[in-house]
Structure 1
Amino acid sequence: MARLARLSVAGYPHHVIQRGNNRQAIFLDETDYERMLQLLREASARHRVGLHAWVLLPGQMQLLATPQDADGLPRMMQDVGRAYVRTFNNRHLRSGTLWEGRYRNTVVDPDLLLHAMACLDSLPVREQLARSPQGYAWSSSAHYTGERSERMVTPPTQIWQLGNTPFAREDAYRALLHEHESGHGCAQFQEAALGGWAHGSPDFVLQLQQLTGRRLQKSQAGRPARKAPEAG
């Protein structure tokens, strides 16, 4: 069955997943990670995409981003993907494809954005790459907990819900990260991006479906239930 067209809706947060072909590593050393961050900084500014959170893992990267224009996100990902592969292949004396295919993404309910950010930033702990989310160098978690300042971060307005001062917000985000280290509630978030389905409340999905004119939820397996016969 043909894949659904990717969702790209201006003004809404998107969860993006880009993985290596056959699950191969896409980052082999610190220079690779730094190169990807550089490309993301440049392309997000060029195409007016606000990056809220990201995590770079050895075999994949995941982003949470809001494009100002519907074509901003696909253009950003195209620029980043092409430039990174050229650099990666030249540095590591290889040729051919690096990505498993087109990136996967979904639109995220703004009311769930803080939850989505915590799912991304705590992923290195679940992957056993770090003992704490903020201890991992290649994610946005340390920015929101105050350990490091990252200039390409565009904090979403929802971050103000966490407290009235920077210290209160940092403490609250640490607590949110700890709550999500076990992956609580994160599986559906990942599945939505991989399947191209909207992630949010029924009201949000209905609103987005009316806006895009596209089916945004996975169909239920099996045949539709038969209607009960009317009483005679």
Structure 2
Amino acid sequence: MARLPRLGVPGWPHLVVQRVHEGQLLARDDTDRAALLGALREAARLHGLAVHAYALCPDHLHLLATPAQEDSLSLTMQALGRRYVAGYNRRHGRHGGLWSGRFRAAVLDPVQFLLPAMVFVEQHGVRAGLVHREEDERWSSARHHLGLMTDPLIADHALFWALGNTPFEREAAWRRRLEEGLSEAERQRLADAMHKGWALVDDAKQAALQQLAGRPVRPRPRGRPKKTVSSAVSIDQ
């Protein structure tokens, strides 16, 4: 079965994961992590990608971002791979690629899923047992949204700004949101869509998004279509 083209829909947030090869590390130390974020910031600026949240994990990168153009996300990830991986290889005396295949992404209806996706990304360190609290994670966007630093990589979404009229109100609201967390069903739904490359949208928006994407955006129902009985068939047959 042919692989579907990756979804890339301008103006819609995308939940992204980019993994590294098994046995490799995304970054070996803080110098690598700073280099990765610098490369990502430059690539995102150049190609029109607004990054709303991120987390650097031991073997993968999570992003929540909105592309300005259809190819903004792809071009950003390509540029990140060229610049960061080349520097990583030089620094550590290695050769070859670092990424394990292409990145995976889900397109999200922002009204329903943008803030849950931010929680999904910024809670990764806590879920993985790397830190006890989100604010202890130096290499994610959580500290920016909790008011502990200003991160030049982050372009806050309008829905985050709507959490409060002042920075203090937004930061307090976001702390409450992180404390509430996600249910396992919510987390699994986001993860499944991200890894499988589907969209999370309601039925009313599916057709419009599908037209923009030029491909199916949700899996078709399993099984054969139900047969319909023609009204022209005689009951005597």
Q: Which TM-score applies when normalising by structure 2?
A: 0.91
Residue 60, structure 1, aligned to residue 60, structure 2:
yes
Identify the residue that residue 124 of structure 2 maps to in structure 1. Answer: 123
1:140-155 residue pairs with structure 2 within 5 A?
A: 140-155=141-156
* Distance in 2 of aligned mates of 1:120 and 1:173: 13
Question: Any idea what SS the aligned residue of 2:2 has?
Answer: coil
Within-5 A mapping of 1:150-189 = 150-180=151-181, 183=184, 185-189=186-190
Cα deviation, residue 183, structure 1: 4.8
Structure 1 equivalent of residue 210 of structure 2: 209
Show the counterpart of 1:2.
2
| Offset of residue 212 of structure 1 | 2.4
- Give the drift of 1:60: 0.2
SS of 2:105's equivalent in the other structure is strand
Please tell me whether the aligned partners of residues 15 and 62 of structure 1 are also in contact (alpha carbons under 8 angstroms).
yes
Q: Could you tell me how far apart the structure 1 residues matched to 2:229 and 2:75 are? A: 50
> Please, what is the CA RMSD of the aligned residues?
1.8
Aligned to 1:17: 17
8 Å contact kept, 2:123–2:178: yes
8 A contact 1:17–1:63 mirrored in 2 = yes
Which ranges of structure 1 fall in alignment gaps of 5 or more residues?
A: none
| Change in CA separation of 1:193 and 1:211 when aligned onto 2, cut-off 3 Å | same
Evaluate the alpha carbon distance shift between residue 156 and residue 126 of structure 1 in structure 2; reply closer, same or farther with a 3 A threshold.
Answer: same
Q: Which runs of 5+ in 2 are unaligned?
A: none
Counterpart in the other structure of 1:196: 197
> Moved runs in structure 1, 4+ residues, more than 6 A?
228-231
What amino acid sits opposite 2:174 in the alignment? Y
CA distance in 2, matches of 1:77, 1:153: 16
What is the correspondence of 1:73-152 to structure 2 with a 5 Å cutoff? Answer: 73-111=73-111, 112-152=113-153
How many residue pairs align between the two structures? 232
The one-letter code sitting in structure 2 at the alignment partner of 1:75 is L
What CA distance in whole angstroms lies between the structure 2 residues aligned with 1:183 and 1:174? Answer: 19
Deviations 1:33-63 (A, max 9, x none): 1111000111111112111111110100011
Max radius of gyration: which structure? 2
Tell me the TM-score normalised to structure 1 length: 0.93
Amino acid of the structure 2 residue aligned with 1:210: Q
Would the aligned equivalents of 2:8 and 2:213 in 1 still touch at CA under 8 Å? no
The reply to whether residue 41 of structure 1 matches residue 41 of structure 2 is yes
Aligned sequence identity (%): 40
